Amino acid sequence: MGTYGVSVFTAERTLTRREFEIRSPRENQVLIKVDCCAICTMEQRVYLGVMKYYPFAGGHELSGTVVETGDKVTQLKAGDKVAARLLTNCGECYYCRNGNENQCVISFKASTHEGLNGPGGLAEYMLLDSRSLFKMSDNVNMAHAALAEPLACCVHSIGNGRIDLGNDVVVIGVGIMGAFHIQLAKLRGARVIACEVDPDRLAVAKMAGADILVNSKEENAIEKVRECTEGRGADVVFCTTALTKLASEAVEMAGKLGRVVLYSSFHPKNPIDLDVDKIHYSERILTGSVNPNIRDFHVATRLISSGLVNPTGLISEIVPFDQLTHAFERAVDPKTYRIIVKM
């Protein structure tokens, strides 16, 4: 059937193309032609040498078109547009059996292309199990479909925040994940306060639907949140930045019975001071959020397919596969949102 190319990280800021044979799917397998793959923060860290996973086949936010299916596949056919969930889970461990497959003991241990470690979405073709693929609408924008995975992560986070109608919700940081949190919180019927230091990102927050914009560089964000909530503090606070100082501020922004969700991973992993009595007396809940489970991914694909969530303003550039180094140099620029690689 010919060969296809896969991009592999082999050293810091070094990408090498490897060729593999295109194989026909068997049983529950599906061969897809990758259309778009977004560059996530994780791939950026491997590219910069912060995470030294070499050799590594990166790319886990992707969309594609079904080329061929195995004889046991019943829900997909050639020509279907799909998004891929590449987070691995065993289905047998304690967490999987309790419906928390996003916490599976083998999460992140993927090997999509034979002999290579990594999810492998930066490739021209992929052979995947049908369970990993979610059908999108026929008219979906494929660059948007590639963002089902990051949106699914935010769907999971929003679920952990337990937003009720009319809640006051704070989103700290308006990168792509913060912007998705704003859109989702509005769908839940919340009033959203967005906190950012970058005026351009505050403009994105407004576009995403934020009701109140707080420039944290120019005013005290904790005091502003209390002012906007008649002194109570927020019902839910999502910290979507990697700075532990802001995690500490997130706890202070929450009011009695408030839920604080630490969405981002933190680099470096510095500790924060925590007034445990304040947590005790106010009954605040402090939790994290990591990875989407299967239901979250399903919800995300429906939100994008139906147009209820629109990622248009969160795509900074679409770059051809043969200009991958340029794509990564653009992606690591903190001013950009998602860079999409077009196969």
CATH number, domain at 140? 3.90.180.10
Model confidence at 1: pLDDT above 80:
no
Distance set, CA 189 to CA 179, 256, 297 (Å): 16, 20, 21
CATH number at residue 193: 3.40.50.720
pLDDT value, residue 99:
93
Q: Are residues 16 and 121 in the same domain?
A: yes
Q: Are residues 181 and 129 in the same domain?
A: no
pLDDT-derived band at 295, boundaries 50, 70, 90: very high
Q: Are residues 139 and 210 in the same domain?
A: no
Q: Are residues 109 and 216 in the same domain?
A: no
153: closest CA among 327, 329, 291? 291
Mean pLDDT rounded to a whole number for the chain: 96
Q: Are residues 118 and 135 in the same domain?
A: yes
Q: Is the dihedral of CA 70, 72, 77, 80 positive or negative?
A: negative
Q: Are residues 65 and 83 in the same domain?
A: yes
Residues 118 and 112: beta-carbon distance below 8 Å: yes
Residue 300, in any domain of the structure: no
Measured N-to-C along each axis, helices 148-161 and 294-306 cross at an angle, to the nearest 10 degrees, of 110
| Per-residue pLDDT reduced to its tens digit, 106-144 | 876 777 899 999 999 999 999 999 999 999 999 999 999
Strands (E), 124-204: 125-129, 133-135, 168-172, 191-196
Rounded mean pLDDT, 170-179: 98
Q: What angle do CA 235, 241, 243 make, to 5 degrees?
A: 110
Q: Are residues 157 and 279 in the same domain?
A: yes
Residue 321, in any domain of the structure: yes
Residue 296, in any domain of the structure: no
Q: Are residues 116 and 167 in the same domain?
A: no
d(CA 331, CA 43): 10
Q: Are residues 181 and 142 in the same domain?
A: no
Q: Are residues 157 and 97 in the same domain?
A: no
Work out how many domains the chain is built from and give that number.
2
Residue 182, in any domain of the structure: yes
Q: Are residues 112 and 214 in the same domain?
A: no
Residue 189, in any domain of the structure: yes
292: closest CA among 92, 138, 28, 84? 84
d(CA 103, CA 90): 10
For the beta carbon of residue 174, count every other beta carbon within 10 angstroms. 29
pTM score over 0.85: yes
- Domain containing 49 equals 3-147+311-342
Q: Where among 273, 288, 303 does a domain terminate?
A: 288
pLDDT-derived band at 265, boundaries 50, 70, 90: confident
Residue 299, in any domain of the structure: no
Q: Are residues 168 and 42 in the same domain?
A: no
Residue 297, in any domain of the structure: no
pLDDT value, residue 290:
93
Residue 305, in any domain of the structure: no
| Per-residue pLDDT reduced to its tens digit, 3-44 | 999 999 999 999 999 999 999 999 999 999 999 999 999 999
Hey, what long-range contacts does 108-113 have (CB within 8 A, 24 or more apart)? 110/60, 110/86, 112/57, 112/86, 113/6, 113/18, 113/20, 113/57
pLDDT value, residue 144:
98
